[in-house]
Amino acid sequence: MDLNVIAQTRCEKLLHLAKQMLSEDEVLSKRYVSLARKIAMRHRFSLRSKRFCKSCNTIFIAGRTVKVRVSPSQQRVLYTCLSCKRSASFPFVKEKLIRKAKCVKRS
Ligand SMILES: [Zn+2]
């Protein structure tokens, strides 16, 4: 088995565990996220950044650990971490393109 595949499966497991442990032990949950980030950096692949806070390593669960808002004027989705109040925004251009493609297929 390829090393990168092993690293990616470990990262997925760690992020899954982080989500499970959040209600029981928040410190352990953050530790799992930081370990997953370290493994991803070592093997040079990207964990999707919409899954955790980059500054405090809190796993994102909408409504519980992160506030998600849509800004139509900026065409962005705003994520605000509820533990450290750091915010990040991501464009939703890709989702718009997918929706347009589906509309074209129907007609
Ligand atoms: Zn945070």
Query: Ligand 1 center to residue 63 CA distance, Å?
Result: 14
Query: Ligand 1 center to residue 98 CA distance, Å?
Result: 30
Choose among 88, 24, 22, 90: nearest CA to 58.
Answer: 22
For the segment 39-64, the average pLDDT, to the nearest whole number, is 92
pTM above 0.75, yes or no: yes
Residues with C-beta atoms within 5 A of ion ligand 1: 53, 56, 58, 81, 84, 86
Query: Ligand 1 center to residue 82 CA distance, Å?
Result: 7
pLDDT of the residue at 48:
83
Query: Ligand 1 center to residue 70 CA distance, Å?
Result: 19
Q: What percent of the chain has pLDDT over 90?
A: 73
Choose among 52, 63, 38: nearest CA to 88.
Answer: 52
- Residue type present at position 98: I
pLDDT of the residue at 107:
67
Query: Ligand 1 center to residue 106 CA distance, Å?
Result: 41
Query: Ligand 1 center to residue 34 CA distance, Å?
Result: 12
Judge whether 33 and 59 are in contact, CB under 8 Å: yes
